[in-house]
Structure 1
Amino acid sequence: MNQLNFPIVDAHIHQWDPYHTPHAAALAVKLFGKHPRILDKVVRLVKPKDLIDTVGLTDYITAPYLPADYHKDIGHYTVSRVVHVEASWHHQKGTGVVEETQFIQQLPFSQENIKLAGIVATADPRESNFKKILKMHKKASPYFRGIRKMAAHHEDPGIHAWNDDPHLYTDRKFLKGFEALAQYNLSFDAWVYSSQLKDVIALAKRFPETSIVLDHLGTPAGLFGPVGKHTGITQTARDNIYFHWKEDLAELAQCPNVYTKMSGLFMPVLGHQFHTRRTLASKQQIIELVSPMINHALQCFGPYRVMFASNFPMDKVSTSLTNIIDAFSDIVAAYNSEVVEQIFCKNAQQFYKL
């Protein structure tokens, strides 16, 4: 086991409280929160099947996830700083998204000996008031570092679309608004499925002065098993997903303004079935499954443009955070033991100007 003798910077966590903030399941939680089985049935009844399949289980989505919960999940590890990334704040109209930044800003991270070091908020560059919203985020918190606008949209209708436009990052209005990020010295978190990586490449080339980070290594849906209606059903199909992912990730890495996050590799949308068996992936299972992906990312991006991020609690459905840190640090150490601190601490500091 690789021993981490430095504090980790976690470049991607989510915080929410469905009891007190706008949340997709807020009403159901308030009505049935004390009755987990009923709550699960209600959420599955009212929410689309593709969304339920994407998150795997409902219990961790409908429960609050706050600094004390995250601190419990890190176990014996020391995490000194975290970056909160927008978590689909339900009030999206007008300037409503700024409320999430205000909410995160006041959370008691210091009580857990963790520093909130960065906030990646959300805003839509297509909106006419995009610049105003950026200014409001900045005013709401000194930790505001950039935005994420999710573009994940799959050709398989059985895989949940996180945006209504399958090519959001090439949309004319989006590109026009995106210019403001460079003007305000803000970064951009890009999240797509691997079939959309060409769009991130085009975006990065169009805005070489803007720092972009690809979340979750580009999320190759169906890589580890069947998802949706027809994705990843056969081994040949999964081999094709992996082949195209490798090619497109390597091309994206040629853009010097792009980093990537070693994260999100145990979301059910990749084809994992641990949640259906109510088991958690062990450290060894994690290594066997994702070491080829992480090694490829390291070979493409090098040790200075890959950063560790937990994506918790989204990956909690498949494994524990301590297992992820154990396994990922061993994978990186096997690649090059001298770059572990770079990837688990320094790269996030540099990218987000923490």
Structure 2
Amino acid sequence: MQQLDFSIVDSHIHQWDPYNTPHAASLAVKLLGKHPYLLDKMVRMVKPQDLIDTVGLTTHVTAPYLPENYKQDAGEYDIEQIIHIEASWHDHKGKGVVGETRFIESLPFNESTVKLGGIIGTADPCDSSFKKILKLHKQASPHFRGIRRMAAVHEDPKIHAWANEPHLYTNKKFMKGFEALAQMNLSFDAWVYSDQIRDVTALARAFPETSIVLDHFGTPVGAFGEVGSHTGLTQTSRDNIIFRWKDDLAELASCPNVYTKMSGLFMPVLGHQFHKQKKLASKQQVFDLSLPLIRHALECFGKYRVMFGSNFPMDSVSTTLVNIIDAFSDAVVSYDPDALQLVFQQNARQFYRL
């Protein structure tokens, strides 16, 4: 564990409240919120199995996650500010997505909880009203910094798809709308599975003036164990996933307008089984599993284009936030002690214009 003599910027958290917002689980929690066992059963009945397998458990997505919850999870760590990343707001069509930005802006971010640094909302570049929706986001909050449009789709049909097509970022209509981001000085959070990283590279090369950050190192699905119907079944297949991920990440890093987030490394979709074993990964386990990924990302992007993000509460199914900060900071120091404050504070400040 590093003794950090600076405050942390967490570049990737999610906030939600199924009880008071148009959340996908709203009806279920209002009916069964006082009965956790029945609530879990209902969610598992109505949601597709591939989604359940991707998130691992249901409790963290059906419970509110608000500034005070994050403050508690952070323990004794001094969190300077956070970036909220869009979290599948249920009213996701057209202008409805602006409701999430208004909701986040209304939350109690203050001295007793944590400071709000920025909001990354969502919008569809394919929408004919895309520019207008971006303007509405900006009007809704002075903290609005850009958007994320998830494109994670896997060839394994039992792995949840977060978009309607496998190559959204190279869709001509998407790319046409995407021009507006640079024009409005907004950034883009890209999230794909690792076998789609080349799509992010193509997008970055087509729009060299747009600041892009690859979330979660590009999520090498199945790198740590079996997921879906046939992904990560053997050590050889897992090695091949990592080999391709390494090559594609290095190619993406050649684009100077692209950063990446050291985040989301303990989502079940990577093949972690901790939630099935009903235990949390220790700090040492987090360090051992994440170190090869973190070192490779730093080798590719350097110490100025990697930023820390907790991905909480999504990664809480596998370990604690304190264990993640402990282990990730040790991993960064093992690569280069001078990178620590850059990765955990300054790079996010610079990228998101905090």
Question: What is the 5 A alignment of 1:107-146?
Answer: 107-146=107-146
> Is structure 2 residue 292 aligned with structure 1 residue 313?
no
**What secondary structure sits across from 1:44 in the alignment?**
helix
Paired-residue identity, %: 69
Code of the aligned partner of 2:87: A
Which residue identity does 1:19 align to in structure 2? Y
Instruction: Please give the TM-score of this superposition, normalised by the length of structure 1.
Output: 0.99
Aligned residue for 2:27?
A: 27
Contact 2:294 2:331 in 1 (8 A): yes
Q: Which residue of 2 aligns with 1:102?
A: 102
Which residue of the partner structure matches residue 294 of structure 2? 294
Equivalent residue number for residue 191 of structure 1: 191
- Following the alignment from structure 1 to structure 2, what is the Cα–Cα distance between the partners of residues 92 and 330? 39
Aligned to 2:73: 73
CA distance in 2, matches of 1:89, 1:14: 11
| Residue pair 1:287, 1:327 contacting (<8 A) in 2 also | yes
Q: 1-side partners of 2:281 and 2:4: how far apart?
A: 21
Q: CA deviation at 1:339?
A: 1.4
Name the residue aligned to 1:273: 273
Q: What is the rounded CA distance, in whole Å, between the counterparts of 2:339 and 2:97 in structure 1?
A: 37
Per-residue Cα deviation, 1:1-60 (whole angstroms, up to 9, x for no partner): 311110000000000000000111111111000000000000000000000000000011
Cα deviation for residue 111 of structure 1 reads 4.8
Tell me the CA shift for residue 338 of structure 1. Answer: 1.3
Aligned ranges 1:1-354 → 2 under 5 Å: 1-354=1-354
SS state at 1:84 partner:
strand
Q: CA deviation at 1:113?
A: 4.3
Distance of 2:239 and 2:336 partners within structure 1: 27
> Does the CA-based 8 Å contact 2:40-2:59 persist in structure 1?
yes
2:261 aligns to what SS in structure 1? strand
Measured in 1, the distance between the counterparts of 2:27 and 2:44 equals: 14
TM superposition shift of 1:219: 0.2
- Secondary structure of the 1:149 match is strand
Give 3-state SS (helix, strand or coil) of 2:57's partner: coil
Deviation at 1:93? 1.9
Decide whether the 8 Å contact of 2:68 with 2:113 is kept in 1.
no
Q: What is the CA-CA distance between 1:112 and the residue it aligns to?
A: 2.6
Cα distance in 2 between the residues matched to 1:319 and 1:214: 22
Structure 2 Cα separation of the partners of residues 130 and 294 of structure 1: 35
Counterparts of 2:24 and 2:232, CA distance in 1 = 29
* Matches of 1:240 and 1:251, distance apart in 2: 17
Q: Which runs of 5+ in 2 are unaligned?
A: none
Letter matched to residue 62 of structure 1: T
> Matches of 1:113 and 1:101 in 2, distance apart?
19
> Structure 1 stretches (4+) deviating beyond 2 angstroms?
none
Distance in 2 of aligned mates of 1:258 and 1:235:
31
Normalising by structure 2, report the TM-score: 0.99
Greater shift after overlay, 67-76 or 106-115? 106-115
In structure 2, C-alpha distance between the alignment counterparts of 1:56 and 1:266, rounded to whole Å:
11
Q: Distance in 2 between matches of 1:137 and 1:278?
A: 40
Structure 2: which amino acid aligns with 1:322? V
Contact 1:80 1:113 (C-alpha < 8 Å) held by counterparts:
no
Q: CA deviation at 1:94?
A: 2.0
Query: Structure 1: which amino acid aligns with 2:132?
Result: K
CA distance in 2, matches of 1:337, 1:247: 25
Q: Distance in 2 between matches of 1:225 and 1:280?
A: 16
Take 1:313 and 1:267, find their aligned partners in 2: how far apart are those partners? 10
